[in-house]
């Protein structure tokens, strides 16, 4: 007999916890351009190889931190609760992060002009974090490997 606890976040989402090093990506410039980010900042952003740290506090809130030589960003959130966020380009957004039953982290943001973007994170079968960024018709993918 298998017994499930309704009080816990699905176990697949727990796989995202930890420290991740940027490995590779494709079409990131298209995504940044669709967001309305200027050329100079896009060139800088493409050169950055961030380290991502995902953790959960004792109070149940999650913490996302992206560190690089260019800039560090950190935010704390509760799943399904809207929060204000400042993107790395300085743009203020309203964001919500929800967790799906299959272990995906879906981060939806809307800027002051109503432009919406989605960043979906999950751990694939080879234990790499897949990050799919979508805005308008642009879709980019980035891959991260665990830092042990």
pLDDT tens digits along 68-118:
987 888 999 999 999 999 887 888 999 999 999 999 999 999 999 899 999
Q: Write down the architecture of domain 13-146 according to CATH.
A: Beta Barrel (2.40)
**DSSP 3-state assignment of 138?**
strand
pLDDT tens digits along 109-142:
999 989 999 999 999 999 999 999 999 999 999 9
Q: What tokens does 77 get?
A: 């959130």
Over the range 121-146, which residues count as b (16 or more CB within 10 Å of their CB) and which as e? bbbeeeebbebbbbbeebebbbbbee
Write a three-state SS string for 68-105: CCCCCEEEEECCCCCEEEECCCCCEEEEEEEECCCCCE
Q: What tokens does 114 get?
A: 């109503």
């Amino acid at each position: 007999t298998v017994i499930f606890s309704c009080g816990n976040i699905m176990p697949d989402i727990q796989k995202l916890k930890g420290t991740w090093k940027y490995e590779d990506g494709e079409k990131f410039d298209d995504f940044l351009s669709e967001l309305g980010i200027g050329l100079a900042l896009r060139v800088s952003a493409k050169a950055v190889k961030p380290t991502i740290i995902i953790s959960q506090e004792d109070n149940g809130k999650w913490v996302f931190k992206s560190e690089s030589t260019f800039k560090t960003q950190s935010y704390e959130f509760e799943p399904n609760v809207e929060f204000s966020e400042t993107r790395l380009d300085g743009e203020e957004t309203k964001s919500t992060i929800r967790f799906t039953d299959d272990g995906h982290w879906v981060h939806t943001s809307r800027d002051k002009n109503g432009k919406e973007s989605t960043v979906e994170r999950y751990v694939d079968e080879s234990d790499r974090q897949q990050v799919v960024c979508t805005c308008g018709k642009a879709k980019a993918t980035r891959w991260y490997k665990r830092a042990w």
